[in-house]
Amino acid sequence: MSTTPPPPPPPPSDPPSGGDGGYGAPPPPPPGGPGGYGPGGPGDGGPGYGGQPAYGGPPAPAYSVGDALSFGWAKFQANVGPILLSALVLLVGVGVVAVLGGLVSGALSSDVECAFDSNGEFVCDGGTGFFAGLVIQAVLSAVLLVVFQIIAAGLIRAALKVADGGSWEFSEVLRTDKIGKVVVAALIVAAITFVGTLLCYFPGIIAGFMLSYTLYFVVDRDLEPMAAVKASFELTKNNLGNTLVWYIVGAIVAFAGFLACGIGALVSLPVVLLGTAYTYRTLTGGTVVR
């Protein structure tokens, strides 16, 4: 009597996965170590691969008005000699133009005058008139602005060199390699400010603020005049809070210097100039060497 052999045993089944209790799923990944994404994922600002900051590289340098003012004061003290020489050049140049402008304005304008004529009648002449006087003042302001910006371009070049870690050099103030673009940019800014001044001054003040970094872009990045005007507008618009507060603080500091019989301006103007270079360099993503 023959015996039937027993059937072969069934093949072994896959072990259950440790993730969700099912079969055939891959094993769970090992827990994240240093440098990997943590529970919050990549969007929480934690470290990414290899310990580097996640997405976008290092954060943009922080800016504060207090830092700009303290930078300006510290660098003024460190470069007081050549800065004072440069400030004297600026003050003398602007002062001469301002005096000449005042003389021209006085010669071209007149107040209303009233008197009795030969017939005994009381008559008044019209004087220059409000609108004509406003036009004269606007033209003189535009001329003064052009002269100021031509002189200021050299000071801006020297201030940016200080912000980049160099020392203030009077030779930088005297350089004229970009004078063509500087003059054209100054004329554009003056024309825009002129139109704003005709609209009862306040729009001119706004234009002066929005375009206050035009020469920085010409001197630093060699932009064409219109491109520099647009870049200044975008910079102030995109950083409205910081640029507006610094504009006001800088104006107050500069004005305080003029209150001290004008002598204080030899300190206040360079401090504001260096602080503005700090503001420009920081808000455009550059690095300031303190």
Write down the pLDDT at residue 6: 57
Write down the pLDDT at residue 169: 92
Instruction: Name every residue whose Cβ is closer than 8 Å to that of residue 172 and which is 6 or more positions away in sequence.
Output: 154, 157, 158, 161
Q: Is the pLDDT of residue 283 over 80?
A: yes
Q: Is the pLDDT of residue 44 over 50?
A: no
> Does some domain include residue 209?
yes
CA dist., res. 108 & res. 44, Å (int): 66
pLDDT tens per residue, range 226-253: 999 999 999 999 999 999 999 999 999 9
CA dist., res. 91 & res. 250, Å (int): 17
> Does some domain include residue 55?
no
Q: Is residue 282 within 8 Å of 63, Cβ to Cβ? A: yes
Q: Is residue 88 within 8 Å of 80, Cβ to Cβ? A: no
The whole model's pTM is what? 0.66
Per the structure, the count of domains in the chain is 1
Instruction: Name every residue whose Cβ is closer than 8 Å to that of residue 40 and which is 6 or more positions away in sequence.
Output: 46
Q: Is the pLDDT of residue 4 over 70?
A: no
Q: Residue 189's closest CA among 223, 247, 230? A: 230
Q: Which position has the higher pLDDT, 170 or 40?
A: 170
What's the average model confidence in pLDDT over 64-69? Answer: 96
> Does some domain include residue 250?
yes
Partners of 47 in beta bridges: 53
Q: Is residue 172 within 8 Å of 79, Cβ to Cβ? A: no
> Does some domain include residue 202?
yes
Task: Tell me how long the chain is.
Answer: 290
Write down the pLDDT at residue 134: 75
List for the chain the helix, strand, coil content (%; round to 5). Answer: 60, 5, 35
> Does some domain include residue 16?
no
pLDDT bracket for residue 41 (50, 70, 90): very low
Domain that holds residue 247: 65-108+121-283
pLDDT bracket for residue 115 (50, 70, 90): low
> Does some domain include residue 164?
yes
Q: SS in 3 state form for 32-48?
A: CCCCCCCCCCHHHCCEC
Q: Is residue 245 within 8 Å of 71, Cβ to Cβ? A: no
> Does some domain include residue 47?
no
Q: Is residue 121 within 8 Å of 134, Cβ to Cβ? A: no
The CA-to-CA distance between both ends of the chain, in Å, stands at 105
DSSP 8-class letter at 50: G
Q: Is residue 280 within 8 Å of 211, Cβ to Cβ? A: no
Q: Is residue 150 within 8 Å of 183, Cβ to Cβ? A: yes
What's the average model confidence in pLDDT over 164-183? Answer: 90
Range among 12-16, 51-55, 274-278 rated most confident: 274-278
Write down the pLDDT at residue 56: 41
Q: Is residue 274 within 8 Å of 72, Cβ to Cβ? A: yes
Q: Which position has the higher pLDDT, 208 or 18?
A: 208
Write down the pLDDT at residue 49: 30
> Does some domain include residue 128?
yes
pLDDT bracket for residue 57 (50, 70, 90): very low
pLDDT tens per residue, range 85-113: 887 777 787 788 778 877 877 776 655 56
